[in-house]
Amino acid sequence: MEVLVPFSTECPKSRLSTVLDPAERATFARAMLSDVLDAVAAAGGEPRVLATGPVDAVVDCPVEIDDRPLTTAVNAALADRRAAADRPVGIVMADLAIATPSALRGLFETVERSADVSIAPGRGGGTNALAVEHAEFRVDYHGASYCDHRRIADEIDATVSVIDSHRLATDVDEPADLAEVLIHGDGAAAAWLRDVGITLDDSGGRVGVERV
Amino acid sequence: MEVLVPFSTECPKSRLSTVLDPAERATFARAMLSDVLDAVAAAGGEPRVLATGPVDAVVDCPVEIDDRPLTTAVNAALADRRAAADRPVGIVMADLAIATPSALRGLFETVERSADVSIAPGRGGGTNALAVEHAEFRVDYHGASYCDHRRIADEIDATVSVIDSHRLATDVDEPADLAEVLIHGDGAAAAWLRDVGITLDDSGGRVGVERV
């Protein structure tokens, strides 16, 4: 399955500004992208980066540049693919730093075997990963997109499978999310965080992070 | 499998104080407990509440009172059960308001079939659910307990299975967690939140909640 991995090259991960400076956030975002591309490939997907601008990193897969907003760019890519071939398409966010091949395989296989649309919800109502085998399905990433995607699927009578995965539900946007990467991650993003001195801080309720 | 559900009757859910008053928090905690007990039973478990004091709610299962700290009480219960019978024991937190029978069944069956210990990590390094089939395994719920439980299992050569589930990773402690209940829940806790006017607020980055 071809799997689009949308990636913003402009000021990525601004909500991490309390712990990482702009250059660090850009480096960390590329480390997460690398981990996601590896996981997609290991799950049997064929990743393609859908970037807002040139990606100044070596990635071992095609890169397509589209500077339009996320929803517009993904819908244009979905329409292109569906017009060219009747094959399912995946869309996996570039900041799923603890995604595993087995979790992604579950997402892909559900659509290859049965459902028209397979959705992995993100924490806070987002949509972290999708697999689509339905010509009319389109995305809308604004707001509580998980609820919107369920509604859009209902409106076109598409069957939906929801993937219950903590690893796919964890997109990395806020400092608390870095704790998940340190606890569960074993790729480039986790290694980079450790290198720059981000460590677990268990002085509060849930474990967070501190920089030492 | 007997499944212990620890439940604190004293000032529960204090981190929800910005949106719920003390009496509301107590009511909401009991609604979540009710949902968890239903899910455990539907997953084939035999729930037993392990409460710090009398539970002033009708629960359709045994209640055992132990006012000691969580780790001490759970370890005493584990030792009792392991001395009486060579059967696995589950421990499921009472605030997993979006836990489904299928997610819990995965946890229970993994231990019944193969692993010595099955762990569902919580967001922020906690341990939200465990199933244990090893005489020497003991819990330690302080701090990043997921990491500690992995270490404890390693030390006694117990095989571990980690359950990757967003629904089991979601314990409800903070206002942002209420969004997960509204988005994914369909039990008493979700209904109660809607009744008191807690709704989704998608004006920020991730969807949160507001009270109207």
How many C-beta atoms surround the C-beta of residue B12 within 10 A? Answer: 20
Per residue of chain A (212 residues), what is the pLDDT tens digit? 999 999 999 878 999 999 999 999 999 999 999 999 999 999 999 999 999 999 977 788 999 999 999 999 999 999 988 777 778 999 999 999 999 999 999 999 999 999 999 999 999 999 999 999 999 999 999 889 999 999 999 999 999 999 999 999 999 999 999 999 999 999 999 999 999 999 999 887 778 888 77
Cβ contact B124–A164 (<8 Å): no
DSSP label at residue A157? T
Residue B200 has pLDDT above 90, yes or no: yes
Confidence class of residue B43 from pLDDT cuts 50, 70 and 90? very high
Q: Coil, strand, or helix at residue B42? A: helix
Question: What does the DSSP assignment read for B82-143?
Answer: HHH-S--EEEE-TT-TT--HHHHHHHHHHHHHT-SEEEEEPTTS-EEEEEE--TT-----SS
For residue A120, give Cα distances in angstroms to A148, A150, A194, B73, B188: 13, 11, 28, 36, 24
pLDDT for residue A143 = 87
CB atoms within 10 A of CB B69: 12
Nearest Cα residue in chain A from B120: A166
Q: Which of A190, A155, A148, A152 is nearest to A170 (CA)?
A: A190
| CA B93, chain centre distance (Å) | 2
At B206 the pLDDT is 79
Span B163-187, pLDDT tens digits: 999 999 999 999 999 999 999 999 9
pLDDT digits (tens, 9 = 90+) for A75-91: 999 998 877 777 899 99
Contact criterion met (CB < 8 Å) for B143 and A180: no
Task: Read off the amino acid at residue B12.
Answer: P
- How, if at all, do strands B117-121 and B127-132 pair? antiparallel
What pairing do the DSSP bridges indicate for beta strands A117-121 and B89-92? unpaired
Residue B52: the pLDDT is 95
Q: With an 8 Å Cβ cutoff, is B15 touching chain A?
A: yes
- Tell which of A151, A206, A210 to mutate to test the B interface (max B CBs under 10 Å): A206
Partners of residue B164 in chain A, C-beta under 8 Å = 100, 102-103, 165-167
Query: Can you give the pLDDT at residue B143?
Result: 87
Q: What is the ipTM of this complex?
A: 0.95
Residue identified by tokens 């819908």 is A75
Q: For residue B203, how many other CB atoms are within 10 A of its CB? A: 9
Residue B11, by phi and psi: left (phi above 0), alpha (psi -120 to 50) or beta? Answer: left
The fold of A2-168 is Spore Coat Polysaccharide Biosynthesis Protein SpsA; Chain A (3.90.550)
Give residue B192's pLDDT band: very low, low, confident or very high (50, 70, 90). Answer: very high
Phi, psi of A202 (to 5 degrees): -105, 35
Rounded to the nearest 10°, the torsion over CA A51, A154, B99, B210 is 70
**Gap between the Cα atoms of A208 and B15, Å rounded:** 16
A176 touches chain B (CB under 8 A): yes
Task: Give the model's pLDDT for residue A87.
Answer: 87
**Burial letters A66-85, b for 16+ CB under 10 A, else e:** beeebeebbbebbeebbeee
pLDDT for the residue B60: 86
Decide if A130 touches B, using CB distance below 8 A: no
Question: B2-169: CATH homologous superfamily?
Answer: Spore Coat Polysaccharide Biosynthesis Protein SpsA; Chain A (3.90.550.10)
Task: Establish if B150 touches chain A: CB-CB under 8 angstroms.
Answer: no
Mean pLDDT of all residues in B64-71:
96
Q: Pick the residue with more confidence: A56 or B29?
A: B29
Note whether B121 contacts A173, CB cutoff 8 Å: no
**Terminal C-alpha separation, chain B:** 42
Instruction: Please tell me which residue of chain B has the smallest CA distance to A204.
Output: B143
Domain ranges of chain B: 2-169
Is residue B11 less than 8 Å (CB to CB) from chain A? Answer: no
- Rg over CA atoms, chain A: 17
Q: How confident is the model at residue B12 (pLDDT cuts 50, 70, 90)?
A: confident
DSSP letter for each residue of A86-135: S--EEEE-TT-TT--HHHHHHHHHHHHHT-SEEEEEPTTS-EEEEEE--T
Please report residues of A whose CB lies closer than 8 A to that of B173: 205-206
Residue B163 has a pLDDT of 98
Provide the residue type at A62 as one letter: P
Q: How confident is the model at residue B150 (pLDDT cuts 50, 70, 90)?
A: very high
List the single residue in B with minimal CA-CA distance to A202.
B143
Minimal Cβ distance to B165: which of A100, A164, A174:
A164
